[in-house]
């Protein structure tokens, strides 16, 4: 039997590229679809170095039914789709809500249409812990926790997409797994692929590594008066390669006939770390001093959220393996690599 073909939308992106590496390592044949709206074509070269061959890749927008149809019709035996491609910036979604609904919901509908048309049955969808909104303080969220009203159009698109997929799975043509990611950080252990934020990073870890390397003058910790042990926000930081591996497990899970038609899994470590703890861990792991200050709270930040990962652990057979230190060291290695190859992000 040949290698199973998996369409990976957003395969040049941060989580997508790491998943491509894991797919190849597990005997799959990824077909990357990406329009490079928030990623770089160079990622395909770096993937080639890592996996030893040039991955098949198509530069197209997943909302473009005709172009995507060609990918499906040119490959008669697609085993599944992993749908990463989406707009993902919370703040930007407040400014451009229509673009977020248009892109994130339309691309899913195009994919579902094509899956049905070409009899492709298995879908893994990138969801987010943002669907839990603001949980009650100190509560680890589980898959059956209440979904609170979304704080942003971005979060709302994830809820809408989850609901669409859940309804569609009822028709017996499609089986899906909805993976609710917590906070992915770090980079492939080789340092050859990683996160590539365009412009000033919104996320904590790229901001830390850019500060450490001198691209940013200092990190601002957004508030230290939250109701947490050290006053800073708590999140569940998960190594991106662990997160990538969850997609392999999800494909296995969907492939087993007995399993539920639409499964939902939290993909997190199950541990919460504060912003201050992340900064301290980075300083300790790299033996560097980070320039930082305490600033105002950031609008819309949830005080504390981390995963109950028991369902993923027991049902999916997946567990996060890498530590916070390992994750931060890999992010640093990636930042150093970007400097070594003189890759400019803006």
* Among 40, 101, 118, 222, contact with ligand UDP (rule: CB under 6 A): 222
* Among 20, 123, 178, 221, contact with ligand UDP (rule: CB under 6 A): 221
Tokens standing for residue 99? 């673009």
Site for ligand UDP in 234-263 (CB under 6 A): 235
Least distance (Å) between residue 160 CB and ligand UDP: 19
Q: What are the helix and strand counts (H, E) for the chain?
A: 11, 15
CA 278 remoteness from chain centre: 19
Question: What is the DSSP code string of 320-335?
Answer: --S-HHHHHHHHHHHH
Q: Quick one: which segment of 9-17, 41-49, 197-205, 328-336 binds ligand UDP (CB under 6 A)? A: 197-205
Q: How far is CA 152 from CA 58, 62, 141, 234, 259, in A?
A: 31, 22, 19, 19, 32
Question: Is residue 328 a contact residue for ligand UDP (CB under 6 A)?
Answer: no
Task: Answer yes or no: are the C-beta atoms of 164 and 109 closer than 8 Å.
Answer: yes
Instruction: Considering the complex, state which of residue 43 and residue 278 has its C-beta at the smaller distance from ligand UDP.
Output: 278
Instruction: Considering the complex, state which of residue 46 and residue 87 has its C-beta at the smaller distance from ligand UDP.
Output: 87
Question: Is residue 132 a contact residue for ligand UDP (CB under 6 A)?
Answer: no
* Among 42, 301, 311, 323, contact with ligand UDP (rule: CB under 6 A): 301
Cβ neighbours, 10 Å, residue 236: 25
Least distance (Å) between residue 221 CB and ligand UDP: 4
Least distance (Å) between residue 224 CB and ligand UDP: 9
Candidate list 154, 181, 253, 306, residue with the active-site label: 154
Query: Is there a catalytic annotation at residue 154?
Result: yes
Cα separation, 193 vs 220, in Å, equals 26
Least distance (Å) between residue 275 CB and ligand UDP: 5
Question: Is residue 204 a contact residue for ligand UDP (CB under 6 A)?
Answer: yes
Give residues with Cβ within 8 angstroms of 272, minimum separation 6. 140, 234, 235, 236, 304, 305, 306
> How many Cα atoms occupy the beta-carbon half-sphere of 338 within 13 Å?
23
> How many Cα atoms occupy the beta-carbon half-sphere of 166 within 13 Å?
11
Q: Considering only CA atoms, which of 31, 26, 119 is closest in space to residue 83?
A: 31
Task: Answer yes or no: are the C-beta atoms of 178 and 321 closer than 8 Å.
Answer: no
Question: Is residue 224 a contact residue for ligand UDP (CB under 6 A)?
Answer: no
* Among 8, 219, 244, 251, contact with ligand UDP (rule: CB under 6 A): 219
Site for ligand UDP in 147-166 (CB under 6 A): none
Site for ligand UDP in 270-289 (CB under 6 A): 275
Task: Answer yes or no: are the C-beta atoms of 83 and 126 closer than 8 Å.
Answer: yes
Question: Is residue 207 a contact residue for ligand UDP (CB under 6 A)?
Answer: yes
Residue number with the smallest Cβ distance to ligand UDP:
233
> How many Cα atoms occupy the beta-carbon half-sphere of 59 within 13 Å?
9
Least distance (Å) between residue 7 CB and ligand UDP: 27
Tokens standing for residue 258? 């007995």
* Among 17, 93, 126, 183, contact with ligand UDP (rule: CB under 6 A): 183
Q: Quick one: which segment of 113-121, 131-139, 196-204, 315-323 binds ligand UDP (CB under 6 A)? A: 196-204
User: Hey, which residues are catalytic here?
Assistant: 154
Question: Which residues contact ligand UDP by CB under 6 A?
Answer: 183, 202-204, 207, 219-222, 233, 235, 275, 298, 301
């Amino acid at each position: 039997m040949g290698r199973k073909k998996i369409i990976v939308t957003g395969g040049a992106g941060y989580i997508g590229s790491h998943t491509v590496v894991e797919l190849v390592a597990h005997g799959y044949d990824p077909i990357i679809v990406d329009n490079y709206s928030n990623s770089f074509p160079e990622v395909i070269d770096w993937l080639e170095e890592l996996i030893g061959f040039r991955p098949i890749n198509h530069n197209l927008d997943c909302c473009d039914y005709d172009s995507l149809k060609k990918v499906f019709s040119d490959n008669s035996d697609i085993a599944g789709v992993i749908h990463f491609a989406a707009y993902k910036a919370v703040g930007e979604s407040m400014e451009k809500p229509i673009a977020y609904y248009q892109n994130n919901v339309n691309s899913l509908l195009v994919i579902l249409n094509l899956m049905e048309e070409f009899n492709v049955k298995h879908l893994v969808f990138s969801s987010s812990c943002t669907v839990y909104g603001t949980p009650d303080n100190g509560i680890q969220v589980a898959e059956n926790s209440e979904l609170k009203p979304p704080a942003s159009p971005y979060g709302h698109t994830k809820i809408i997409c989850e609901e669409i997929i859940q309804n569609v799975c009822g028709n017996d043509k499609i089986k899906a797994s909805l993976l609710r990611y917590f906070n992915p950080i770090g980079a492939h252990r080789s340092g050859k692929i990683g996160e590539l934020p365009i412009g000033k990073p919104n996320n904590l870890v790229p901001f830390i590594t850019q500060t450490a390397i001198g691209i940013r003058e200092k990190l601002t910790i957004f508030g230290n008066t939250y109701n947490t042990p050290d006053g800073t926000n708590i999140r569940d930081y998960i190594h991106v390669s662990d997160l990538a591996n969850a997609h392999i497990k999800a494909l296995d899970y969907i492939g087993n006939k007995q399993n539920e038609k639409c499964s939902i899994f939290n993909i997190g470590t199950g541990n919460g770390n504060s912003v201050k703890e992340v900064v301290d861990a980075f300083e300790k792991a790299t033996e560097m001093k980070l320039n930082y200050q305490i600033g105002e709270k950031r609008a819309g930040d949830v005080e504390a959220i981390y995963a109950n990962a028991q369902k993923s652990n027991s049902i999916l057979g997946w567990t996060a393996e890498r530590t916070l230190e390992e994750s931060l060291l890999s992010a640093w290695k990636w930042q150093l690599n970007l400097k070594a190859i003189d890759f400019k992000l803006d």
